[in-house]
A = this chain, B = another copy of it.
């Protein structure tokens, strides 16, 4: 298909598509004349992922390029591509090593993961951005004096485990390994606001049950 059709089918303006092409977020089309290129279904799929990352995930262009490079890297197996792509996503502030609460955060996060029956290698945990994000989050709770020991964190970890099964079931609905890696990245980003908004709505509901009229 030509640029105009790619724009129509994706709902992304031709100006934005040209910008993504310039920024190498989208592979170039197959050139057919001096001024026209031909695009295919893979471009359409990639455009969907780019929009998920940039418009919904609000991920900087340079970070999105890193995520996509991992998704595309055919030299590696699916698990490794998936892992690298997810790790390239933004993970919030890094742990502040000058803050004593960070040591508590790291100890608690390590203890929590040890309690779960996971294959996760704790020796190299600090190499994982999601682990460092967890350390920083627990450190913030600790620094502000809120309860954040493993007894408080385990219920969250168990819900996260159950959600990951739902997430991966959804990913496996996609046919090819390439589509599965793309979907895993997009759905990780797209389901975060779903989860956070549902938690806030459920909190309002539960507050109403506990503190509402009738009690």
Q: Which positions in A face B, CB cutoff 8 Å? A: 11, 48, 51-52, 55-56, 77-79, 82-83, 86, 89, 91-92, 113, 118-120, 128, 130-131, 133-134, 136-138, 140-141, 143-148, 152-153, 155-157, 159-168, 170, 172-173, 183-184, 186-188, 190-212
Cβ contacts under 8 Å, A210 to chain B: 168, 172
B-side contacts of A152, CB under 8 Å: 170
B205 touches A79 (CB 8 A): no
The closest CB in chain B to the CB of A190 belongs to B141
A159 to B186 CA separation, bound complex (whole angstroms): 21
Q: How far is the CA of A190 from the CA of B138 in the complex (A)?
A: 8
Most B CB within 10 A of own CB, among A148, A166, A198: A198
Q: Contact check, A166 vs B156: say whether CB atoms are below 8 A apart.
A: yes
